Amino acid sequence: MKLVAGNSNRALAEEISGYLDVPLAQCQVRRFADQEIFIEIQENMRGEDAFILQSTSYPANDHLMELLILIDALRRSSARRITAVLPYFGYARQDRKPGPRTPISAKLVSNLITHAGADRVLTLDLHAGQIQGFFDIPTDNLFAAPVMTRDIKERYVQGNLMVVSPDVGGVVRARALAKRIDAPLAIVDKRRERPGESEVMNIIGDVAGRDCILVDDIVDSGGTLCNAADALLAKGATSVTAYITHGVLSGGAVARIAASRLKELVITNSIEPTAAVVSAPNIRVISIAPLMGEAVNRTALEKSVSSLFN
């Protein structure tokens, strides 16, 4: 096995390397004066089972291009098999045509990864499960639910929890977590009554006196989470904590979360946390390195990956 890391999330790559007790391969990633990416892998890769550790997070285009060039470099180095390990798969929110003359960018990126020469993809909590079908190569979609479940059980008293989906589209994800911690499920139904008016949030389920756990795959601006927290507390919830897999947190999201009524926002390190995230008083980061490392190990040994989630 060979582990090759790009620049998107070096800290997570080193954690996975430590878990597997396999050093990261010597690899030089640099830029020419005009910002073209140049990559040189400085170890023999012939016949190796190579795993590229690279999230396509901000700046998404740069990190995606790094991934594609790394795949091409490994293919031309005669690696036996190339697995693209994407803790965060960017462009996943563009998985359908919301209107005329718009792209399905998730499919385009899937094609790019496949045609660059990847033999397999390993990713975490895709925004939409059907994106697995966009790839013409084997694709394993891992779930952060076991990591979140362990953290929730360590920090909360069972019996008073309520898992909440922040929208109707996330019900399946929220129900899966609710089943793991044996908690009931509520749903935030948001709608805009008239154009130009703010969204009205209705809560489906009785949250009064409950410690609510909001569950989602991506937090970007943070607006929906903050509004959902306000709506839950208005309905009598004792506290509101959010467990989100991918902390995109763009723009003023960190300041918005810090000033919100959320007790805590818990995210994974699928995207490398910024200094603002690390210093935020109510944002906490949990590691997915053991989960990703074990999935990489099982893939290399041709063992079951799905049994991680049974």
Q: Does the annotation list 110 as a binding residue?
A: no
How sure is the predictor about 198, in pLDDT bands with cuts at 50, 70 and 90? Answer: very low
Domain count, the chain: 2
Domain that holds residue 181: 145-287
- Looking up residue 253, the CATH number of its domain turns out to be 3.40.50.2020
- Segment 141-158 shows an average pLDDT of 92
- Segment 230-239 shows an average pLDDT of 94
**Is the pLDDT score of 224 beyond 90?**
no
153 is catalytic: no
What local confidence, expressed as pLDDT, does residue 117 receive? 97
Q: Does the annotation list 136 as a binding residue?
A: no
Report d(CA 195, CA 61) in Å as an integer. Answer: 34
Report d(CA 236, CA 293) in Å as an integer. Answer: 41
Catalytic residue among 190, 235, 263, 303: 190
Percent of the chain with pLDDT over 70: 97
255 and 159 co-located in one domain:
yes
What local confidence, expressed as pLDDT, does residue 158 receive? 80
Lowest mean pLDDT across 132-146, 156-170, 242-256: 156-170
- Segment 231-245 shows an average pLDDT of 95
70 and 165 co-located in one domain:
no
pLDDT digits (tens, 9 = 90+) for 34-59: 999 999 999 999 999 999 999 999 99
Cα→Cα distances 154→34, 149, 150, 176, 181, Å: 50, 9, 6, 18, 11
* Residue closest to 165 by CA, chosen among 157, 175, 155: 175
How sure is the predictor about 167, in pLDDT bands with cuts at 50, 70 and 90? Answer: confident
135 and 159 co-located in one domain:
no
* Residue closest to 15 by CA, chosen among 246, 299, 280, 269: 269
Mean of the per-residue pLDDT values of the chain: 93
**Is the pLDDT score of 293 beyond 90?**
yes
The one-letter amino acid at 22: V
251 and 295 co-located in one domain:
no
248 and 295 co-located in one domain:
no
Q: Does the annotation list 182 as a binding residue?
A: no
What local confidence, expressed as pLDDT, does residue 80 receive? 97
Structure tokens belonging to residue 88: 């965060």
What local confidence, expressed as pLDDT, does residue 195 receive? 53
171 and 202 co-located in one domain:
yes
Q: Assess contact for 68 and 56: CB atoms under 8 A.
A: no
157 and 280 co-located in one domain:
yes
- Segment 115-123 shows an average pLDDT of 97
* Residue closest to 125 by CA, chosen among 215, 9, 38, 190: 215
**Is the pLDDT score of 193 beyond 80?**
no
82 and 107 co-located in one domain:
yes
Q: Does the annotation list 130 as a binding residue?
A: no
Q: Does the annotation list 28 as a binding residue?
A: no
* Residue closest to 225 by CA, chosen among 195, 183, 267, 194: 267
124 and 233 co-located in one domain:
no
- Segment 87-113 shows an average pLDDT of 94
Angle at alpha carbon of residue 109, lines to 107 and 53, rounded to 5°: 130
What local confidence, expressed as pLDDT, does residue 192 receive? 59
139 and 154 co-located in one domain:
no
- Segment 116-136 shows an average pLDDT of 94
- Segment 293-303 shows an average pLDDT of 96
What local confidence, expressed as pLDDT, does residue 199 receive? 67
159 and 234 co-located in one domain:
yes
Q: Which of 106 and 307 is assigned the larger pLDDT?
A: 106
Q: Does the annotation list 93 as a binding residue?
A: yes
180 and 104 co-located in one domain:
no
**Is the pLDDT score of 118 beyond 50?**
yes
